[in-house]
Structure 1
């Protein structure tokens, strides 16, 4: 199986990569009850959020489907939720239904903050925190730096004022961030996916000890009864294929769909949601062409 590190080393070649994320927005939650309010609405444990520690999580419907997934940081007394820009308004309207019972204010800040992605290609000596539920956060010179992945490379979100400009470098190589396999869903995908289908139980996105939140019963039942084999996987291929088609096995049976994809020159990388364990298929095909399965940068062992 192709190594993620080999792909990254040969593609990045130690280049600095910084790219402005035009499709990512910010929802600000402020007020005395902000964390208490979000504790009952998110899959992650808000008690672990601090100015030094960010979180990854989701807001679910009562049916356990993800309304929006996010990274979250604390900035002074405010909580900033980093998510797909086209989901900020929907998430705000959903949360407002519950916020009336708390001392908290929700504000669409996508015009006041900018988010950049920075890639750092460096080997880590200790991989014990690769799938940690806590994401290191530093705050300096009006820039919040959130490390969202350490493996297969270090990926950071730089969150700053929309008026500030950070110089972009080799932005076309930022596509490699897809290999972290910790996705943020968009509006079209909203309320169609369970958290476990994105491996969130293994990437710090779900706490199974925090207590109740909207959709928690469904998410917990899926975890402990294991009714679905669906999982996020990584694949690659050369050339242009029809990504709207189903992924099939060698017998032509539907075994999954493309979740998200990107490319660098002629090489495509994709996150796919498979209906089977990847090891159960000898070949994985898309648009009548075999595509190559890549290893995940984390173990799928459940995080309780």
Structure 2
């Protein structure tokens, strides 16, 4: 299996800076903001501070992800950074419960700009990713560290009118973001995926000690009693993107579904939700394209 750090280093001869146009911002304000979200999302809001951001999801009662996001505290406000095409749906869902709390919800995407800054890795492969995302605030700009391996990835969240960073080598950003394997779902994937299928139990996205939230019973049952082998895995191949959504094994058996892909410099990378254990794979293909597995940036134990 190709070393992930080696693959990432080939694309990082220089720093990569890219505006994340696809990311929207849901703003939660009011004295009950944390209390309200604690009963709705998978991460532990008691650990959120201005210097500690989180990764989490809001789920349906069936435990499927409606949207997942990065959670930042800015003064007395809480910001959820998610795929922009899921903002309206997430707002509609959360507003059903917000009426019982002193809280206001709003789409604040126009007020902020999110920029990713990717540089050489600053650590080796961890056992699992911490639930705490270190965050620094400089005046009105917030910088949170999303990963330190296989690339150091920081997200800068600042007022939309700021022009502190210009894009550079942005053509590599999408591929590098996939290698982090801490994904955000898109609208077409909403309510189809359990958090564990995206490895959120190993990437700090689920607290199993915080208590109840919508969908918690299903998520906990999958963790402690579930038999599903579904998990996020990485693959690469030489050539452009594929239109095929099924990953097949030897004998053309479907063993996974394409979750996301990106291409650059005649190389492509994909995140795939596997239906089998990675060691059971044999000659995987996406359509007619043979693909090779990449190691995850963290160890993946089922429990």
Q: Compute the TM-score of the two structures, normalised by the length of structure 1.
A: 0.96
Q: Residue 233 of structure 1 corresponds to which residue in structure 2?
A: 233
Q: In the superposition, relative to structure 1, how do residues 94 and 178 fare at CA in structure 2: closer, same or farther (>3 Å)?
A: same
Deviates more, 1:294-303 or 1:159-168: 294-303
8 Å contact kept, 1:21–1:117: yes
Report the 3-state secondary structure (helix = DSSP H, G, I; strand = E; otherwise coil) of the residue aligned with 2:79: strand
**CA spacing shift, 1:222–1:77, aligned 2, 3 Å:** same
Q: Is structure 2 residue 270 aligned with structure 1 residue 267?
A: no
Once structures 1 and 2 are overlaid, which stretch shifts more, 156-165 or 41-50?
156-165
Residue correspondences, number: 301
1:178 positional shift: 1.0
**Superposed CA offset, 1:201-249 (max 9, x none):** 0000000000000000000111111221100000001113533331110
- Structure 2 counterpart of 1:44: 43
Q: Is residue 2:224 matched to residue 1:219? A: no
Query: Superposition pairs for residues 97-176 of structure 1, below 5 Å?
Result: 97-124=96-123, 131-165=129-163, 166-175=165-174, 176=176
Report how far residue 190 of structure 1 moved. 0.5
Q: How far 1:182 moved relative to its partner?
A: 0.3
Paired residues of 1:130 and 1:150 also in contact (CA < 8 A)? no
- Contact kept in structure 2, 1:72 and 1:81, CA below 8 Å: yes
Matches within 5 A, 1:173-192: 173-175=172-174, 176-192=176-192
Instruction: Tell which deviates more after alignment, 156-165 or 235-244.
Output: 235-244
CA distance in 2, matches of 1:181, 1:220: 22
Shift of 1:302: 5.5
- Trace 1:194-213 onto structure 2 (pairs within 5 A): 194-213=194-213
Does the 8 A contact of 1:241 with 1:287 survive in 2? Answer: no
> 1:129–1:253: structure 2 CA closer, same or farther, 3 Å change rule?
closer
Gap runs ≥5 in structure 2: none
Query: 1:254 deviation in Å?
Result: 0.4
- Confirm or deny: 8 A CA contact 1:62 1:214 kept in the other structure: yes
Q: 2:27 maps to what in 1? A: 28
CA-CA distance at 1:120 after TM superposition: 1.6
1-structure distance, mates of 2:182, 2:92 = 25
Q: Distance in 2 between matches of 1:289 and 1:108?
A: 41
Distance 1:237 1:253 in 2: 20
Preserved CA contact (<8 Å) 1:135 1:148: yes
State the secondary structure of the residue aligned to 2:110.
coil
What is the match of residue 73 of structure 2?
74
Q: Secondary structure at the match of 2:18?
A: strand
CA contact (8 A) 2:241 2:268 kept: no
Q: Secondary structure at the match of 2:223?
A: helix
Measured after TM superposition, the shift of residue 185 of structure 1 is 0.4
TM-score normalised by structure 2 residue count = 0.96
Distance 1:118 1:130, change over 3 A: farther
Q: CA deviation at 1:128?
A: 5.5
Long gaps (5+) in structure 1: none
CA contact 1:243–1:258 (8 Å) conserved in 2 = no
After superposition, what is the alpha-carbon deviation per residue over 1:36-90, rounded to whole angstroms, capped at 9, x for unaligned? 0000000000000000100000000000000000000100000000000011111
